[in-house]
Amino acid sequence: MDVEHRESDGGLSHLSSGPEGLESRMVDVGAKAPGRREAVAGARVRFPTGVLERVLTEGGPKGPITEVARSAGILAAKRTAGLIPMCHPLGLDVVEVLFERGDGDPDVLLVRCRAACTGPTGVEMECLVGAGIAALTVIDMTKALSPAIAVEQLRLLEKRGGKGGSWLAETSS
C-alpha cells in the first residue's frame, strides 16, 4: 500500500493528512541517527495518616511492596510499545525504579523511574509507564489496609537527548 501522508498543519508528528482527513500514524524514525536518550518520571502515592509508616516498618499484607512494585515498573517500562500504540519498541539500556518518603509529608511515597537508551527516539513514555505501574502496584500491594490509597500525580520530571535537548520540570516533587 502506497499512501502519501503529510504532517498535520498543527505540527503534531503523530497526525497526518490522509485520504480521509486527519489520521493517526506511527512516525518513521528509521532515518534518524541514534543518540543517547534519558528521562525520569515520577508518581506520588498518598496513604491515609499512619498507613505508610506501618507498611514501611511492618511490611505490606502481600509482601515487600517496594520490591514487587520495582519489578512491575521495570517490566512495564520494557513493554511500553505494546501498551501505547504510537510508541516505538526501544532497546532500553537501563530502567531504575526508586522509592522515597515524600518531601516532608510522612504519608506520601514518591516513585521515580529512570530509563535510558541509545536510539532514534526518546524514553519519556517508558519512564511514565514504569512510574505509573510501579505506583499502581504499590496500591495493589497495600489496598487491604485502606481503599483511600491514591496516586496523586504522574508526570515527566526531566529528559535529555534528542531534537528537543534537555528539559527539567519546575519542581521535582
Specify whether the backbone of 149 is left (phi greater than 0), alpha (psi in -120 to 50) or beta: beta
**Whole-number CA gyration radius for the chain:** 19
Question: Is 105 noted as a catalytic residue in this protein?
Answer: no
| Selected catalytic residue, list 93, 105, 107, 140 | 140
Contact 21, 29 (CB under 8 A): no
37: cell is 536518550
**Ordered DSSP codes for 84-133:** STTPPP---SEEEEEEEEETTEEEEEEEEEEEEEEESS--HHHHHHHHHH
Could you list the active site residues? 140
